Amino acid sequence: MTNANEICAAVKEAQNVGRTVYLTDGTVTREVFQVEISNWGFAWDTLDVLIIDGDENKVWIQIQIKWPWDELDGWALEEVDGNFFIAPEWWLEI
């Protein structure tokens, strides 16, 4: 799934029923605590993902959304072994 609106809805639904969602960049994986779509004054919207980093700090990770299709740029949400992952598409293909 690459549509940002669908990803937000799916993550919130999964979390509401107690399922875990992770974000990985292919090297480091962190649990997702919140997602939202925003525009920080850029020429594009972003999918903002709240994680806790290795130092226990809350960090927002921003993933660019392609306009006008609302698709993530090179990222997707997929279920892997019963958990959901927001990850680069190349990582999900492995």
Phi, psi of 26 (to 5 degrees): 105, -15
- pTM value is 0.88
What is each CA distance from 31 to 40, 58, 76, 84, in whole angstroms? 23, 11, 16, 10
Looking at per-residue confidence, does 27 or 42 come out higher? Answer: 27
- For 49, the domain range is 4-93
Average pLDDT, the chain: 91
Identity of residue 21: V
The total number of structural domains that make up the chain: 1
Tens digit of pLDDT for each residue in 36-56? 998 876 667 899 999 998 888
Let me know: does 44 contact 38? Beta carbons within 8 Å: no
